[in-house]
Chains A and B, each alone.
Chain A
Amino acid sequence: MTVRDTIIETQDLTKYFGAMVAVDGVSIKIQAGTLHAIIGPNGAGKTTFFNLLSGNLKPTSGKVFYKGVDLTGKPIHRMIHLGMGRSFQITNIFPNLTVHENIRLASQAMENMNFRLLLDTAKMDRCEQRTAEVIERVGLKNQSYLPARVLSHGDQRKLELGMILAPDPELLLLDEPTAGMATDQVPELITLIQDVQKSGTKTVILVEHNMNVVMSVSDRITVMHQGKVIAEGTPAEIAANHEVQTAYLGGLYDLNL
């Protein structure tokens, strides 16, 4: 493996909720072009850490650097323009708008036409083209003009992935993309994520509970426990790590390796 640039880096990132520390002094570096998984028992602080990376939460102390630029204090709506996209653990879409409109809004954000009050959106060709591409890619072509709320849960997860892909970000933060999906739909989505990452040389950071998925797709894994990073390495290293096993077995989590 060649040495690659660091795309995102945290320095001593800490977040307190009242007296409780959710993320405790996390310093990690993630290389560009890799698929990096973050695992850990429930309550380990994975989602909070994600929220700090994406700017949804402000850290109590510490800093986040994206390509060497300090992100701390930047508004959320700037993140996508820097090349960052994130999905949520709980599906976060526009339920009453059509699939097409959901994706179209996501690609429109990258056009500098947001304040053309009299322009017909149907005439924004580049945006329409991009929308059609993304819908095709996530396999929702036949549901294009259905309201997003009527889609199955699995299809809504795909739609959400599509909304992240539409602006073509360099870094994708995926918070449990397979959460609540039917088991037979999981491989399809994972293949899609892998395809996206490989074909576009993108970086994917993934929070995931499904160990089979994590072990098979990740380049590197970071293990969090009680707000701290307790191990980092390749899937093989993590599987053999004694401390990781203790953390999982000590917690109420079944590590089905």
Chain B
Amino acid sequence: MKNNTNVFIKNRGILIFFAVMLLAPFLIGLLEGSSPAVILNNRGSMSKFLEGLGIEIFILAMFALSYDLLFGITGLLSFGHSMFFAVAAYLTGIALKTMHLPFWQVVLLVLLVAVIQALLFSLVLPRVKGVTFTLVSLGLASVFHIIVMSSDMINLTGADVGLQGVPVPAFISPVSERLRFYVIALSLLVATFLFYRRFVASPTGRVCVAIRENEGRAKMLGYNTTLFKIVVMVISSLTASIAGLLHALYQPIISPGVADLGYTVMGLLIVLVGGVGTLSGAIVGAFALRLLDFTLRRYIGESAAIITGAIYVIFVLFVPYGIIGTMNLRQFKTKQGWQRLLGLLKPKE
């Protein structure tokens, strides 16, 4: 086993990603004939549009990363993960719009609430396992979804219309300071990724992997597994909440859609497409999913969903370990994929 101790060599993939993404707006600017100065002033139309798409992907990737830590690393399948994201998004919106709090207080509040939510989950963690945990988490998130959607809350949350008109602080306005917003979102994503990488290699992270593999054995080895699950829950919730905060600042409307099961499932799909438990798969998957969705919608329209669905099915059959997972294994077997497909079509005796 080779042990590269150099931090830069060990993380070269993500550092190259960071550099490329930083340069991308300027390169696109050059292609459409605007100088770097124009880009810095947020006046290049094509690059500004693509920066926006980039921000959406970075936010999605952060959300998916937090899901991969929970599901891919620790083996906790939560169907309530969108709650962390949505609570942060709505809290940001309400704190800025209704409570008129200064921005730094909003950030602190969001982080604090993230920890409280994670601890709420940790009440049920030692009591329920496997599918039961999945359903309980779905229940918790559904309660929040119902509250957000209720017409009694229309003044606060905008109910089914969504929360609109959030006053975003001028220095990170997604309209006039989009490049800055883009760089902040990118940096947060890269920082989170680097932290997660370290975490997985740390004693705590190794125990989380052990919990995924065989929780009973981890207990017998002397680990209080519940404690480790709570730690992971808190980290995951904090990450998803930061993503939710960025989402609330970036999007003109915070839709109640971010609070429902669909949003959690999207995180799950991103992780599955990218590669479960690989971390980098969350970033790759977010790019793949968002760009696929964007392209199909642009050329086909709303009915694109059926094609997206078909692509997912083909993906699960032919690339079951996800993009990064398959790359790591260095095996892509088309034959097995066909066999799985035929197995699906063949009627059961």
Residues of A participating in the B interface, judged by any CB pair closer than 8 Å: 54, 56, 75-81, 86, 92-97, 100-101, 104-106, 108-111, 113-122, 124, 145, 163, 167
Across the interface, which residues of B come within 8 angstroms of A80, CB to CB? 220-222
In the complex, how many angstroms separate the beta carbon of B164 from the nearest chain A beta carbon?
Answer: 39
Q: How far is the CA of A115 from the CA of B235 in the complex (A)?
A: 13
Question: Chain B interface secondary structure, helix, strand, loop or mixed?
Answer: helix
Instruction: List the A side residues contacting B224 at CB < 8 Å.
Output: 75, 77
A49 vs B198: C-alpha distance when bound (angstroms): 42
Question: A81 CA to B219 CA in the complex, in Å?
Answer: 11
On whether the beta carbons of A95 and B204 are closer than 8 Å, the reply is: no
- With known contacts A94-B217, A122-B3, A122-B201, A77–B231 Cβ distance under 8 A: no
Instruction: Check: B207 CB closer than 8 A to any chain A CB.
Output: yes
User: Do A97 and B210 form a contact, CB below 8 Å, given A77-B223, A81-B222?
Assistant: yes
User: B7 → chain A, closest Cβ, in Å?
Assistant: 10
A97 x B213 contact (CB < 8 A): yes
Decide if B33 is an interface residue (CB 8 Å cutoff). no
- With A94-B213, A95-B213, A115-B231 known as contacts, the answer to whether A76 contacts B220 (CB < 8 A) is yes
> A77-B222, A163-B221 in contact; A93/B202 too (CB < 8 A)?
no
CB B78 to nearest CB in A, in angstroms, measures 21
* Nearest CB of chain B from residue A128's CB, rounded to whole Å: 11
Q: Do the beta carbons of A120 and B213 come within 8 Å of each other?
A: no
15 contacts between A and B (CB under 8 A): A77-B223, A77-B224, A93-B214, A93-B217, A94-B213, A105-B221, A108-B206, A113-B203, A114-B204, A117-B202, A118-B198, A119-B202, A119-B203, A121-B201, A167-B222
CB atoms of A109 and B221 under 8 A apart: yes
Is B326 among interface residues, defined by CB-CB distance under 8 A? Answer: no
B71 within 8 A of A: no
| A111/B223 in contact, CB under 8 A | no
| B220 and A116 form a contact (CB under 8 A) | no
